[in-house]
């Protein structure tokens, strides 16, 4: 399973997974995190939140579609768009689909940013029941 967002680190994680697990079945997952709507400068009121959610869903589907195009023909792929706290959703997806390995990127935050924002990768590594590879 590869957890994806629109970061360069997630792209590196996908490239790593493609190079090391090219013949395996893939689960590509993206989590829509509502806390990101708080930082959206256009946010405000219910309609704008609904618009934000619709755009986030469209962006997630486009991201997963682009990632799927990178897979070789014949490779099994499942795409999942989930909503919630990223670490929890990634772990739930892995459990539900009985994946053998999780591959994900790390933003490499340190100091106050890491304390305030947390580390999704760290939470997944600590709580995952399967091997997890974090790519920088």
What is residue 124's predicted lDDT score, i.e. its pLDDT?
A: 94
Residue written as token pair 């997806």: 93
Average pLDDT over residues 72-82: 94
pLDDT-derived band at 46, boundaries 50, 70, 90: low
What is residue 36's predicted lDDT score, i.e. its pLDDT?
A: 74
Q: Supply the CATH classification number for the domain 2-135.
A: 3.40.50.620
Average pLDDT over residues 42-61: 76
Q: Which tokens in the block code for residue 134?
A: 């974090």
What is residue 97's predicted lDDT score, i.e. its pLDDT?
A: 97
- Cα distance between residue 49 and residue 124, in whole Å: 28
The domains of the chain are located at: 2-135
Judged by DSSP in three states, 8 sits in helix
Distances (CA, A) of 62 to 5, 77, 105, 136: 11, 15, 19, 23
- Cα distance between residue 128 and residue 24, in whole Å: 20
38 pLDDT above the threshold of 80: no
Task: Please tell me the pTM assigned to this model.
Answer: 0.87
């Amino acid at each position: 399973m590869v957890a994806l967002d629109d970061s360069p680190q997630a792209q590196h994680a996908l490239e790593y997974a493609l190079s090391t697990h090219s013949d395996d079945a893939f689960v590509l997952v993206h989590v829509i995190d509502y806390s990101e709507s708080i930082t959206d400068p256009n946010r405000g009121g219910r309609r704008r939140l609904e618009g934000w959610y619709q755009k986030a869903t469209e962006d997630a589907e486009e991201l997963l579609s682009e990632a799927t195009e990178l897979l070789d023909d014949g490779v099994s792929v499942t795409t999942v768009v989930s909503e919630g706290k990223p670490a929890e959703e990634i772990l739930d997806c892995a459990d539900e689909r009985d994946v053998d390995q999780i591959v994900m990127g790390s933003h490499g935050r340190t100091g106050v940013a890491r304390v305030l924002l947390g580390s999704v990768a760290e939470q997944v590594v600590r709580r995952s029941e399967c091997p997890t590879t974090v790519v920088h």
